[in-house]
Amino acid sequence: MFTLENKTAIITGAAGGIGAACALMFARHGIKTLIMTDVRKENLDKTAGEIEKETGIKGACIACDIRREAEDEALVAEALQKAGRIDIVVNCAGVSRMGGLYEISEDQWDFTFDINVKGLFFLCRAAYRVMEKQGGGCIINLSSQAARSGGLVVSPDYPSSKAAVLTLTKSLAKSGAARNIRVNTVSPGLIATEMTTTFGYDPKTVPLGRLGSGADVAGAVLFLASDYASYITGACIDVNGGIAMI
């Protein structure tokens, strides 16, 4: 039985989709302190309320735009003040859009990379400092199957940013290893969330015959966050219903 008792976690992008599913999964597995963060505070509060109703675990909701290093540092400081330590960080905040080669502007390119790569890095670094001092921790970053396939309908900034997440994770895992900080990636395929509502995928094209759910991804995140994964770092778990085989 997986347990996260005595552990403290920060989950970004927790207002909905995969982030909310991870928060619920952690609450169901007895997380001691759950810090939920997102740029959409109203949705975050609503999600936290639903999780509390189901599990009795009350997540602390902190608004944060992860693009800003100062906000990342403030988030980690507030989490530390509330919980005394930070064992787990799950980076689910992310953006994507549909579009072709000639449709993306310079500002849109920067927006995607600011959130998916830069913000993720600065939040990892802020948490890493705390983890280093306390003797360890673990970070799980959300990449995407698109990082390896180049994406199906998303514009080119998205798969490129998610490929950067794969490499950044390995870089952080290398420096974290001697400090007992594990850093891994979960790479989803087609997951039914707000992000993919307009994608129009036919579930029949997925070998397992359906789109994934947030809970499917959260299961892999839970494993990596647990002590059962204590010898795993710099790795990537694919959660894609077999879509990488086609």
Ligand X SMILES: NC(=O)c1ccc[n+]([C@@H]2O[C@H](COP(=O)([O-])OP(=O)(O)OC[C@H]3O[C@@H](n4cnc5c(N)ncnc54)[C@H](O)[C@@H]3O)[C@@H](O)[C@H]2O)c1
* Residues in touch with ligand X (CB under 6 A): 12-13, 15-19, 38-40, 64-67, 92-96, 115, 119, 142, 144, 188, 190-191, 193-196
Nearest by Cα to 140 from 203, 210, 226: 226
Residue 2 or 111: which CB sits closer to ligand X? 111
The amino acid at residue 32 is: K
Residue 178 or 246: which CB sits closer to ligand X? 246
Q: Is 231 annotated as catalytic?
A: no
Residue 31 or 190: which CB sits closer to ligand X? 190
Q: How far is the CB of 32 from ligand X (least distance, A)?
A: 23
Measured CA to CA in angstroms, residue 224 lies from 22, 163, 236 at distances of 12, 20, 10
Residue 104 or 132: which CB sits closer to ligand X? 104
Candidates 128, 158, 201, 231; catalytic one: 158
Measured distance CA(38)–CA(13) in Å, rounded: 5
Q: How far is the CB of 39 from ligand X (least distance, A)?
A: 4
Q: How far is the CB of 196 from ligand X (least distance, A)?
A: 4
Under 8 Å CB-to-CB from 224, ≥6 apart: which residues?
138, 140, 182, 184, 186, 232, 237
Evaluate whether 180 touches 213 at the Cβ level (below 8 Å): no
Residue 61 or 66: which CB sits closer to ligand X? 66
Report DSSP letters for 197-231, one per residue: TTT---GGGSTTSS-B-HHHHHHHHHHHHSGGGTT
Q: How far is the CB of 70 from ligand X (least distance, A)?
A: 13
Write out the E strands in 88-133.
88-91
Measured distance CA(178)–CA(129) in Å, rounded: 14
Evaluate whether 18 touches 214 at the Cβ level (below 8 Å): yes
Helix (H, G, I), strand (E, B) or coil at 17: helix
Q: How far is the CB of 96 from ligand X (least distance, A)?
A: 6
Query: Looking at the annotation, which residues are catalytic?
Result: 158
